Amino acid sequence: MIRTKFYRRIFELNGHPIIAKGLRSFAQSKASKPFIGSFAKLYKLNMEEATRGIHEYGSLHDVFTRELKPGARPIADSADAFVSPCDGYLSVVNDLTLESTFTVKGQEYTVEELLGSSTKAVPYAGGQVLIFYLSPTDYHRVHVPIDATVEEVYTLGKEAAPVNEIGLTHGLRPLTRNYRLVSRFDVAGSPLAHVMVGALNVNSIVRTNEANVVHRGDPYGYFSFGSTVVLCVPKGTFSFNGKTGPVKMGEAIGTWLS
């Protein structure tokens, strides 16, 4: 019971940068190892699909960023398949306004704020935003949704504000204020914005793939704790298959049209 309350309190306080840094240090230390079993039980982690047994992990961070066995997440293989880059809960915003505004949990945001530039936001006016919310239960490595060339990668934000009701209630803007890794892909001549938004820690995102050419399903990075992935697609380039809600990395969520 004590450990259950401890973990829940961690995720309630995940917007406080000082607390976040302390939790991150603890989670990466050997001192966190005794908590692995109860953490896995509380969040119902499927350790059978992980590459290592639960007792082989040295810290909570190792478990949170666990890798999966080959085949645990089959990658849709049709030529034009666009796949989910991660496990999570998918929400889709269609027909962005000319100002590229969209709403997340009752709060209005702009693609300009998300990407940090009005110029970078222009290609997505009238397009779609795909938002993947990851929970502690989910596999926390992020992959590539479609074959592409990596045109640009940059980071934005310094504050850690939670992507949850606590942050929204207090007027914080987590998608724009949080540390985030922004990648601009070129897919057959059209741009695709791939944004990893850290929710629990300052700079809690690690890019693991430095290649200039990436392929559908390739590993791209991981979150140390808490997270959201946002994809921005231009108008007329993507056909969504209509499935929202829980998704798994590698499953087809639509097709690329250009």
Hey, which residues are catalytic here? 87, 143, 227
DSSP 243: -
Work out the number of other CB atoms within 10 angstroms of the CB of residue 3: 14
Q: Which pair of structure tokens corresponds to residue 59?
A: 């810290």
Sheet holding 252-256, edge to edge: 81-83, 252-256, 238-240
DSSP 227: E
- Dist. CA 115–CA 135, nearest whole Å: 23
Q: Which residues pair with 101 in a beta bridge?
A: 110
Pick from 43, 46, 137: nearest CA to 86? 137
- Dist. CA 229–CA 221, nearest whole Å: 11
